[in-house]
Amino acid sequence: MISRLMRRNIFLVGLFVLMNSAWQSQAQTWPTKPVRIISGLGAGSSMDLVARTIAPKLAEIWGQSVVIENRTGAAGNIAAGVVTTTEDGHTLLIAQNAIAISASLYPKLSYNLRKDLKPVSQISSMPHVVVVNTNLPVKNFQEFVQLAKEKSGQMNFSSAGIGNADHMAAELLNSRAGILMVNVPFPGGAQAMNAVIAGDTQMYLPGLPVSVPQIKAGKVRALAVTSAKRSPSLPDVPTVAELGIPNFSTVLWYGLFSPTSHADTLNIKIASDLNKALNSAELQTKLAGIGLDLVGNSPDSFKTFVNQEIQMWEQIVRSKNLRPD
């Protein structure tokens, strides 16, 4: 005679098999309608440019249109909140360092990064570029640091919002260089860059898609990159570490996240499709060609990376006693 416990275990195994089959079927047929990718930064930001570059290739792979929707504000947390409460199965989030920073910077969020979102895949990694207004009386990074020390607390830097990657990279630079500059947040990267060009702020740390065209046009001056190695897009621009701040390294990354309602099998498919898109000759030319390191890793690998980022930025937020207001 089969005991009640055995019957229960048989039922649970059968239920798991049925659910797994359903998830596999969903992954094979997905998407069945247009896909939305929600971005927390405005049009013209590096992240927006990357999202709009990969969208057509993903649409080609999926056979459905891919729409980029900007929900700006609160360092991307508004966009993240939208995605966590969307249960249509066809909405993703594109985010950057700020989502890991917010986990410790903001005491109250409408979502929990570890519980309400699933990392799907990292898209790319690239350095921030230290750019300054061309009328600033400095020719190199060392002169800039000296000027900032002489005018401690009197100079400003742009950011695409409090807690964004560019803001935190500048705070890290402040700390390691022993300078004090004031953050002036803007709705997005394009506005932050325009403020430096106009001389309303003195410094900005954008990504490559926003900075390279303005550097080449002579509208801003590039002093350094924040990565451990020089960027192929700006081979003549030294790293911060080369210029006297040893072991300084921070990069700007972008990645896709899903609501927790997404089955793991579906996210594995999305990650695989993203990797296929990133390896295409078209995106290699458009993105890798401007110095971005394209990644396209698995959900598990990206989850490990995101957890490491959360821990790293938590230490910086606490050590500098940073607050979102």
Residue range 3-25, pLDDT digits in tens = 665 555 555 455 444 444 444 55
Domain shared by 139 and 165, yes or no: yes
What average pLDDT does this structure show over 288-316? 93
Residue 255, pLDDT > 50, answer yes
Q: What is the pTM for the complete model shown?
A: 0.83
DSSP state of 245: -
CATH number of the domain within which 90 lies? 3.40.190.150
Rg from Cα positions in the chain: 22
Instruction: Please give the pLDDT value at position 167.
Output: 93
**With pLDDT > 70 as the criterion, what percentage of the chain qualifies?**
92
The CA distances from residue 64 to 245, 278, 304, in Å, are: 48, 18, 30
Q: Residue 274 belongs to what domain range?
A: 34-126+252-320
Domain shared by 119 and 146, yes or no: no
Residue 30, pLDDT > 70, answer yes
Residue 291, pLDDT > 90, answer no
Residue 26, pLDDT > 80, answer no
Query: Nearest-5° angle of CA 205, CA 208, CA 214?
Result: 80
> Which of 199, 219, 243 is at the close of a domain?
243
Nearest-angstrom CA–CA distance, 93 and 38: 5
* 3-state SS assignment for residue 133: strand
Q: Within a domain: residue 19? A: no
Tokens representing residue 149 in the block? 């020390």
* 3-state SS assignment for residue 156: strand
Instruction: Please give the pLDDT value at position 22.
Output: 46
